[in-house]
Structure 1
Amino acid sequence: MLISGCSNGEEKVDDSMSDENPSGDLAPLSKEVKVLIAEDGAASGAGFYIAKEKGYFDDYNINVEFTQFANSDDMLPALAAGEVDIAGGVSTSSFFNAIAQGIDVKIIADKGHYVDGNSYFSFVIRNDLEDEIKDYSDLKGKKIAVSSQNAVDDYIYHEMLKHAGLTEDDVEFVLMSDFGNMLAAMGNGTIDAALQIEPLITQGVEQGIHTRFGDATDFAPDAQIAMVLASPVFLNEEEDVSLRFMAAYLKGVRDYNDAFIKGEGKDEIIDIMTKHTALKDPALWEKVAVTGLDPNGEMFIDDIKKQYDMYEKNGATRGEFDFDKSIDTSVTEKAVEVIGKYEEEE
């Protein structure tokens, strides 16, 4: 939903440097544009929240608004139709099926991956099993809760089984869609292990219910958990807007990395995260494992393909998913050229 005098190229602006923009890179748009983002307060939306609160969108004369959808079945058609400009998505068989069957959305940038050795989405085991379960192979015969099937959670679970040298028949799979219920089930001994998510991982550790077990990067270091999705209308007909949007988004992501990886400006970023997400306790933000967000927007595309291959093998896909058509990182790459590549510290 774009409201702008520059729609369809009618008032294209010069992409040259401009002193009118405090960032000194791209000139602001000649008229304010509203960009609608489907975002539900997930921590992986940090780049959006930070860019909004720190004025990076304002620098380009972009006004972002957030909206929520009950489920992706409603969100994806709205995104494809241009009723929503940007959204977050996770890998599921239904996501791929929707696109394969004509719901045209583009996968454009990273919105969530693992941080090496400190994953925000990883396995936990009951505290009373710590002496019994020392290695992944020791999960044989145990009840393991996972939140979904033929989705990224299921993919991570199966990557763990392969790493452990186990088969599906060696463990008891427990489908439990609510992560909060996993915590309760762990507390009453109904399950032995779970693929759990922050902040519930940290909360369960502090309550003495479970303990982190290894780390998901032990067996899935390059897992792509979530992606930034875009309307093709937004990308193709509003090139000036989408480029500036992505530049602002990546600046927000870089501030996030500076805060949680380098420890720079952390208090300010935590304030923003408590404002926009369900995790309202600043002290807990100091303890949780945070979502990995690539400061250059780069994704693990080969891993997305591996996830799809698993769903296809399971007979959960319908139609043929065209990766070359659906993954379009061109606006992200151009934004990096404009603002400069972020170099990770060794």
Structure 2
Amino acid sequence: MPVSLNRRQTLLGLGAIGAASAFAAPALARAQRNLAVLHLGSHAPSFIAWERGYFKDAGIDLNLQFFEAAQPMAVAIASGDADFGVTAMTGGLISLAQKDAVKVIGGALIERPGSPGSVILASNKAYDDGLTDPSKLEGRSFGITTAGSSFHFMAHKIAQATGQDLAKIDLRPLQKLGSLVGALSTGQIDAWAIQPSIAAKLLADGTVKQIGTIAEMAPNYQVTTAFTSTKNASGEPELVKAFVAAYSRAISDYNAAFIDRTADQAEIDALAAIVHKYVETDSQADVAKANLIAGAQRINEGLAMAVDSIVEQLEWYKSEGMVDPSVTRDQLIDTSFVKTV
């Protein structure tokens, strides 16, 4: 049975495709819902679906709720403050899944060789000092938001792929993306891995150097997932199906414009303008659009889920002692709403 957690219990837990069918819309419209998002280009389908009314078409009265990092998004969904989120796997999310509070119901960003993906960067200072390749990270500092974050897992995959000891890489938890950007730009940390839209801006500013890609280190890594509360997944499956359908429409728009380049220029311009309302708002529109195009990363059509990658991440968190070793894949994921890949 799903467990209803209040905010305090949730915080304690952290410590240890086309439109929906028309007949479903009236039933889903009875309550306002929240979608947890970050001010990142990877969340472009969230902004596209909201601005183009895809959620309304699916019968969902939904607002965007902004966060600074992935783990608080899982807290919000478990406590009922938000209904859906699309972000990276974290130890906190897994712990909440074990408490029957959240479920991963889809996959979003994926690292695929040959497609744009996350970029490994070095500060100019570190690069000039010899950090010209990811295999030279031992003895260097690498930025992460928090222990157990996707950045932590990326550091593990880099170390694994290059035969380095992760324990010899100085992981620096700086909590917020803005702090990581600032620290890398000023040489306070030596390296970081980040999605290409942010990397493109840093590279254009001339404050960093690219030394590799995550796709080289971790092919088919499911970077972000879609998740909801266990209560929604088990008690309101039509709501979850409607969300997946609406979000999938936006993914198709995004991939056509920025990845597959099958959309016309007017459509590309229109979508870039939507995303610019939420991402790189301090940049000129043409600059933001160029960064969005240069930094676009493939998102799984229909929120298809790379199950093997998700399970690999689960097992890594368990092996590192960041989650209870007894947590199972069935507690974490529900594959009934999307295709698996």
User: By the TM > 0.5 criterion, same fold?
Assistant: yes
Q: Is the 8 A contact 1:123 1:214 kept in 2?
A: yes
Match of 2:223 in 1: 225
Which amino acid counterpart does residue 316 of structure 2 have in structure 1? M
Trace 1:26-105 onto structure 2 (pairs within 5 A): 26-29=21-24, 31=26, 33=29, 34-68=32-66, 76=74, 79-80=77-78, 84-100=82-98, 102-105=99-102
After TM superposition, the structure 1 = structure 2 runs for residues 182-221 of structure 1, keeping only pairs within 5 Å, are 182-221=180-219
For structure 2, the 5+ residue unaligned runs are 1-17
Candidates 299, 303, 307, aligned match of 2:305: 299
Aligned match of 1:320: 326
Q: 1:267 to 1:332 in 2, by over 3 A?
A: same
Q: 1:256-271 residue pairs with structure 2 within 5 A?
A: 256-263=254-261, 264=263, 265-271=267-273
Match of 1:330 in 2: 336
Give the distance between the partners of 2:257 and 2:69, measured in 1 at CA: 31
Match of 2:233 in 1: 235
1:286 pairs, out of 279, 283, 290, with 290
What letter corresponds to residue 22 of structure 2 in structure 1? A
Partner of 1:114: 111
Asked whether the 8 Å contact 1:42–1:277 carries over to 2, the reply is yes
Tell me whether 51-60 or 265-274 shows the greater mean CA deviation: 51-60
When residues 99 and 30 of structure 1 are mapped into structure 2, their CA distance, relative to the original with a 3 A threshold, is: closer
- Give the deviation of 1:252 after TM superposition: 0.8
Residue matched to 1:3? none
Q: Distance in 2 between matches of 1:176 and 1:82?
A: 27
Partner residue in 2 for 1:124:
121
1:56 Cα offset (Å): 2.5
Structure 1 residues 309 and 251, CA, compared in 2 at 3 Å: closer, same or farther?
same
Contact 2:121 2:193 in 1 (8 A): yes
- Of structures 1 and 2, the larger Rg is shown by 1
For the residue of structure 1 that corresponds to 2:301, the secondary structure is coil
Equivalent pair of 1:124/1:201 in contact (CA under 8 Å):
yes
The structure-2 alpha-carbon separation of the partners of 1:42 and 1:211, relative to structure 1 and needing over 3 Å to count, comes to same
CA RMSD of the aligned region, Å?
A: 3.1
SS at match of 1:332: coil
**Cα-to-partner distance string for 1:89-134 (whole Å, 9 max, x where unaligned):** 422222212222x242221112322353565533112336269444
Aligned-partner Cα distance in 1 for 2:131–2:70: 37
Distance 2:191 2:311 in 1: 27
Matched residue count: 311
**TM-score, normalisation: structure 1:** 0.77
The answer on whether the counterparts of 1:185 and 1:191 sit within 8 Å (CA) in structure 2 is yes
Measure the CA separation in 2 of the matches of 1:256 and 1:53: 13
Structure 2 length-normalised TM: 0.78
Moved more, 104-113 or 313-322: 313-322
- The 3-state SS of whatever aligns with 2:107 is strand
CA distance in 1, matches of 2:139, 2:81: 48
**Higher relative helix content:** 2
